[in-house]
Every structure is written in structure tokens, then in C-alpha cells.
Structure 1
Amino acid sequence: MSSQPPVPLPDAAVPPPGQTGVAEPTPEPDGGRRILHEMLTSSWLVSLLAIVLALILGGLLIAAADAEVQATASYFFSRPSDLISAAWTAVSEAYAALFAGAIFDPRAETFARAIRPLTETLTVATPLILAGLGLGIGFRAGLFNIGAQGQIILGGIFAGYIGFTFDLPFPLHLLLCVIGAALGGALWAGIAGVLKARTGAHEVIVTIMLNNIAIYLVAYLLSLDSFQRPGSNNPVSPPIPESASYPLLLGEGYRLHAGFLVAIAAAVFTWWLMERSTIGFRFRAVGSNPHAARTAGISVNSTYVWVMLTAGAFAGLAGSAQVLGTEHVLTAGVAASYGFDAITVALLGRSKPLGTVLAGILFGALRAGGVVMQARTGTPIDIVLVVQSLIVLFIAAPPLVRSVFRLPSPDTPRAPKPVVPVAAKEVSA
């Protein structure tokens, strides 16, 4: 057999020096970024059905905890209608009391008292909306910032200290407290952003550590004479003067304060920032694909720092809503569980401003109505926490919700429409 001479390759087929000629694969996003992207891009229908499914399962727990339901369950097979009737009564009365405590109380003697539950819902929702907006910005930029708890605490520390230390006229004093709260939250979140940019430290681990540090920091500060109320051994700061407090929107009979207007203004600003500004475009570009953003000339590391600073500023404003609007003092529990609940608010709202506002109001309603539900029906308030946890579960697992309600997957290709030949159309005509 005679060997054939090698066929020379054309110039276009010869790879340039230093290259193998094989196309390099595009880097795939890591698992956390992919899961976060799936949660944020799920449809509004999936989010709504997640709430419905959580309420259904919560209703089952309410029925199971009711004494009358437990009594009728002993003779279910002889008279099943008694169990069904008792379960329906327990669930309907519990959710009716939840609605009365969160939106409108038909038992109230006056209209002013009847709408008080709605104002309580908006009051509770204010820090949730502010912290949720900040977390949503981080989520859309690909950063899973779960440090809102510590950022709320730092915002409360800064706002409280400026409030009870200085003696200034009303508009200026309040403005300085609000700016201080935003600055405190931004500085605390900026630590995680700088560590992420300079060392590659994962923001989840760093923000968890910062949450714990903030909890012990506020406890230590409240043990100092400069932060402690004179003549008291309790860890409570001096009261915030009226010049540094958010004014009440509806008078002395309600707790709703101007911090709610700050939350609405923050939602509008977030929409402009993420949808209309250049820096918002950079945030979204880095969140979509940091490798492509870096190739396009965007400094990914500096973007991480700016994202965390912005997110922390919003969470700090949530701390100002607590100290300057609701509590009027600085305590060790200033953040309550708002920082962790805000994660669910941001995910439920798909990190969009309008969705975050609506999700914050929903969770505010659950918090405000849960107390009335327990007082009127004896239903454990822990049921509300279970419902919130179930919402988190279903929001984090969109395929689970779609499988329960038999919804098609968004990745499933649609069948193409049949193409009818022109001749066939003419024959049928």
C-alpha cells in the first residue's frame, strides 16, 4: 500500500499560534447562582400559587390543632360530616380573624377602629419593604446577601445615637438620623463587599458572621453609659426626641409613620436605579453573567462593592423605621426577625420593587393578623411562622409548585404550529 501525501489545510483551518483550534466552553454559573436565577425568574403565577399552597397546608395544621376537630376525629367513620364541619369552622374562623387583624375589623364600633388593622399591617411592612429592596438588589446582581439582620442593627445604632445625642430642630435632626442609618447599614454591608472583591470570600459566610457580630455589638454598646438610659440598668437607650422621630401620618390613634412613605420612595428609586440608570445596568449585567460583564469592560469586583453598599443602605433605613418610627428607643432586639423575613419578601417579590412592596405588605399582614387570630380563636401564632416558612420552601422550589398544580415547565419547548401549504389553502377555499 502506498501512503498518500498529507493534504495541506487551508489557511482558515490552521489555528493561530497558542490556540488549539477547539472552542472554549462558556463558563457555567455556579449552583447557587443558578438556583437564585431560577427563583427570581419564576412567573408571578408560581409565586401566587406558592402562597395559596402555603395557606392550604397552614389550614390543615389549624384543623389538626383544634380541639373540636380532634374530638370528632375519634368517630370519623360513623359520622364523617362532623369532622369536616369542625375542620371547616376552625379554619374559616382562624383565617377570618387573621383578616380582621390585618386588613379590616368588621366588629369594630367605628370606622377609625375598623381600619386600624390595615395601618398596623403597613407599619409592620415598612422595615420589611426597605430591607427586601436592598436584598433584591443584591439578588439581581448575583449576590446572596443574607446580612440584612446585622445591617438593620447598624442602621438602628447610627440613627439612635444621632437621635438621642444631638439636640437639633425637627427637619434637620430627622434627616441626619435617616442619613446616619443608611450610612451605618452601607458600611456594614460594605465589609462583605470589599472582602468579596479583594479576597473572593463568599458573601453568605461573611454576612452570617457580620450578623452575629452586630448582635453582640449592640448588646455591648447598650452596656455603656453613653448608650444607656440614665438611672436605668436595663439595656435600653434614652428615648428618641420628637425632633428625630418620623411623624405620624394619621394622628395619635395610629402607629403608621412617615417611614412608610420613605419605603415607597425607596421602591420608586430602586426601579429607576435598576431599570433606567447606568449603574443599575452594570448590576444586572454582573448578575446575569459576570464573565461576559468582565469581557465587556465592567469591573466586576467594584460592582460587588457598590451592590453591597446600596443593599446595606436600604437595610439601614429599615433600622431607622424601627428606632425612629415604631420603638423610639434602641434595644438589643431592634431588628427582631425582619432581616431574615426580608429574604422571603425579596424572593417572593422576585426582587422587583412592586413585587417586594406587595410581598412586604403580605408578610406585614401575617404578622399583624396573627396576634388577633390567636386572641380570638386560640390558634397558635406559630401557625403564621409555619405559613411563612412554607412560602420560603415553595418559592425556593418552583418545580415543586409546578408539579403540584400540573403547570408546564418554562424550559419545555412548545409544539410548532402546523404549516398549511398555499395550495391546500386554495383548495379549501
Structure 2
Amino acid sequence: MSADKPNPAVDERRRRMFAEIVGGNAMISVLAVLLALAVGGVLIAVTDEQVQSAAGRLLVDPGGFFAAVGDAVAGAYISLFQGAVFNPKRDGILQQIKPLTETLTFATPLIAAGLGVGLAFRVGLFNIGGRGQMLIAAACAGWVGFTLHLPPGIHLVAAIAAGLLGGALWGGIAGLLKARTGAHEVIVTIMLNYIAFYLVSYLLRTPVLQAPGSSNPKSPPIAETAVLPSLLGPQLNLTWGIVLALAATVFAWWLLDRSALGFRFKAVGLNPSAARVAGINVKGVYVKAMLISGALVGLAGAMQVLGPAKAGFTSGIDAGIGFDAITVALLGRSRPWGILGASLLFGAFKAGGFLMQAAEGVPIDIVLVVQSLIVLFIAAPPLIRAIFRLPDPGKIVPPIKPALTPTEVTSL
């Protein structure tokens, strides 16, 4: 074969590689975010008073209208960046990087909860019970935090362990019912959310969790020995919880991609019947997966109590993180590193949204709309591929090998 003669096998590999890069999941996620930001920009412009005023003079002064649109959108997203990453207008480096620490603070529980939900997704289970698992974990971790008197370090470890155990047991209930009775985990976890909420609400009105001498349904403050220490000093809200979240990400990656149990998890998630034929205990996998999933979500609940809510917690301690974790897991494609990136993105939206609202007058609901659009576009890859004219890697058919010519037949 001459050097100039094309190699069909090499060309096919290059074609598939190009299609995977351009039309793969990573590119779809990036384009979904960009498209959502573009639509958000349109909404920002529509709701801006200066743009509305300039729209009345569109035919007379079209340049002024488009300048107003550009100022509104650019100002909003610059404020979002300054509120989420870096604000050069503040005095001192600590205050300038405070937006980034706020983003990490908001992202910390999302990372842990998203990992738990994503792990269940990989096994083919829909863990919608993040709220209940967080509430039970928060109650367990909080009780250990304000009731027991242990040395520093040991007390913190005990409180975190209690949160992990509480979340694991609450998630394990759904896994056990799924394995033993075939009950659908979506219905079970939703019902467990209600049970956990009303149970914790009741306990916050009893001596078990309620602060002594208080008539409000709120717990006592957490002992200093059980509080997550500050990572960069008392001037910033960032705690060592972010380190725990990163460690949980590494653990989830190792579990799913490097361990035998993770192989069984993924095999059951792809095809439970084939996994059963291959000798995998599918029912046991369901229980183990929900135990680990609940423990990871429980870590988020424990970090909420031992960090931002160290002064005492209420039944709203979950702050919607249990449901946001579903969004994060979807955006991250249920991959640990993808969930980490999605959590940071949503943490940035939450941290920057406040400054965007205060500085530019943009409704905070716009941020929620952008988040919802991201999920919508992520859930519809064909729509993204159609808009940006991207190839679908799964639909590339290898070229049909041409029939032999008479000359080639003769030479055989």
C-alpha cells in the first residue's frame, strides 16, 4: 500500500473522533449553558426599564435601542461574574476573592447531594428523596453536635458520621423496599420526604431537638467542637466542608470507575436482566446503592448543620438542595467530575444572582429561569444538535465497503 493511498479505517476513526468531540455529551452541556445564557440575556433585556424606554424610539434611534440592550445584558452578566468569581472594585484581596468563596460555599452541599443522586442514577434508580435524607442526616448530626460533649476533632467526626449514618439509613429504606417488594423508588422516596419533614418538624417542638426555654421550632446552637472550621479565616464563610465535598467526589469516581462494586452498579444500571444472568445480585446492588447514595446526600445535610446553620437549624435546613441535586446530577450526566462542575456553576449562579439583582435591578427569578433552561436543553440533546447542526456520534454508520473490481478479483 502506497503512502498516498487513503486508509478507510483511519479515516473512519478520525470521523468518529471528530463527531464525538463536536457532538458528544461534553459539548452538548457547554452549548446548553451558552444557549440558556443567551435566552437569559433576552429576558434581561425585555425586563430592563432602559431597554423598554429605548424600544419606544426604535424606529427613530435604532442604535440607541441596541446600545441599551447591550448595556443591560453586559451589565447583568458582569455583575453576575463579580458576585460569583472576582470583584476588583472591593478593597483588599480577601474581599475581592470573597465572591469565589461564596460560590464554593453554596456549591459545597450541592456537590455531596448531587453525587448521591447521580450514583443512584448510574444504578438505574431515581433517588428523589434527597430532601428527606438531608433532613434526617441534619437532625442526627445536629443532635450529636449540641448534645454530646467530646474533644475537638472527635466531636466533629462523630457528628459527620451520625449524618452519614442517618442519610444512609433513610436512603436504605427505599433500597430495601425496592429489592424486597418491588416498590417504585420514586414513590417511596417522595413519601419518605414527607415523613422526614414532619418527623423533624415534630422533634423540633420536643426536648429532643428544640432549644431549651425556646418556643420556636429551632435547635440549640452546635458546640464549637463540632463546627466545621473555617478554611481561609473568619472573614470568609468558606469552611473545610469544601474539602469533604472534593474528597466525596474522588470517592465516588473511584467507586464507580475503579472498584468491582462500581462495575456491578453500572452493569445493573445498564441492564438489570443481563446483570442477573451474569450472576450479579441485583437486589443486593439496589440496597447498597441506596445506602451509599443516602450517605452522600446525608453528608450534605451534615455540612449544612455544622457549617452555615451552626447557630441552630429548623425544618427548612435542606434549603431546596435535595431537589437542586437532581438538576445538578442531570447536568453533570451522573459523572462525579461532571457533577462537581455543575455544582460550581449553580453555586456561581446563586452567589452572583444577589449582586446582579442589587446592582442592575435584574429579578433574581431570571437566574432560576436560566438554570431551568439549562436543564431543559441538557435533557434534549437532539434540540441542541439541531440548533447548532452538530453530528450525532451514535448515528454514524460505517461506510459500506465497495465490491471488488474485476481486476482485484483476478489478482486474488
Report the TM-score when normalising by structure 2. 0.90
The equivalent residue for 1:301 is 283
Secondary structure at 1:190's aligned position in 2? Answer: helix
Within 5 Å, give how 1:61-80 maps onto structure 2: 61-80=43-62
Work out whether residues 120 and 290 of structure 2, in 8 Å CA contact, stay in contact via their aligned partners in 1: yes
Cα distance in structure 1, aligned partners of 2:291 and 2:50: 53
Cα distance in structure 2, aligned partners of 1:232 and 1:286: 49
The equivalent residue for 2:255 is 273
Task: Name the stretch that deviates more: 408-417 or 117-126.
Answer: 408-417
1:401 partner amino acid: I
Work out whether residues 129 and 171 of structure 2, in 8 Å CA contact, stay in contact via their aligned partners in 1: yes
Cα distance in structure 1, aligned partners of 2:72 and 2:242: 34
Within 5 Å, give how 1:252-401 maps onto structure 2: 252-328=234-310, 329-401=312-384
CA gap of 1:418–1:303, structure 2 versus 1, over 3 A, is closer
CA RMSD of aligned residues (A): 1.9
CA gap of 1:293–1:230, structure 2 versus 1, over 3 A, is same
Extract unaligned runs of 5+ from structure 2: 1-22
User: What per-residue deviation string (whole Å, max 9, x for no partner) do you get for residues 250-298 of structure 1?
Assistant: 1110111111111111111111111111111110100011010000111
The equivalent residue for 2:156 is 174
Task: Name the stretch that deviates more: 197-206 or 413-422.
Answer: 413-422
Task: Name the stretch that deviates more: 312-321 or 403-412.
Answer: 403-412
Extract unaligned runs of 5+ from structure 1: 1-40
- The partner residue of 1:250 within 220, 232, 248 is 232
Question: How many positions carry a matched residue from both structures?
Answer: 385
Within 5 Å, give how 1:32-47 maps onto structure 2: 43-47=25-29
Secondary structure at 1:411's aligned position in 2? Answer: helix
Deviation of 1:424 after TM superposition, in Å, equals 10
Task: Name the stretch that deviates more: 87-96 or 398-407.
Answer: 398-407
Deviation of 1:79 after TM superposition, in Å, equals 2.1
User: What per-residue deviation string (whole Å, max 9, x for no partner) do you get for residues 118-146 of structure 1?
Assistant: 01110110000000111111111111111
Cα distance in structure 2, aligned partners of 1:116 and 1:64: 31
CA gap of 1:396–1:223, structure 2 versus 1, over 3 A, is same
Deviation of 1:168 after TM superposition, in Å, equals 0.7
The equivalent residue for 2:389 is 406
CA gap of 1:74–1:295, structure 2 versus 1, over 3 A, is same
Moved over 6 A (4+): 417-425
Cα distance in structure 1, aligned partners of 2:324 and 2:27: 21
Deviation of 1:410 after TM superposition, in Å, equals 2.6
Report the TM-score when normalising by structure 1. 0.87
Deviation of 1:230 after TM superposition, in Å, equals 2.2
Work out whether residues 167 and 295 of structure 2, in 8 Å CA contact, stay in contact via their aligned partners in 1: yes
Within 5 Å, give how 1:232-247 maps onto structure 2: 232-247=214-229
Work out whether residues 42 and 398 of structure 1, in 8 Å CA contact, stay in contact via their aligned partners in 2: no
The equivalent residue for 1:161 is 143
Within 5 Å, give how 1:112-151 maps onto structure 2: 112-151=94-133
Cα distance in structure 1, aligned partners of 2:405 and 2:317: 72
Work out whether residues 141 and 287 of structure 1, in 8 Å CA contact, stay in contact via their aligned partners in 2: yes
2:338 partner amino acid: G
- The structure with more radius of gyration: 1
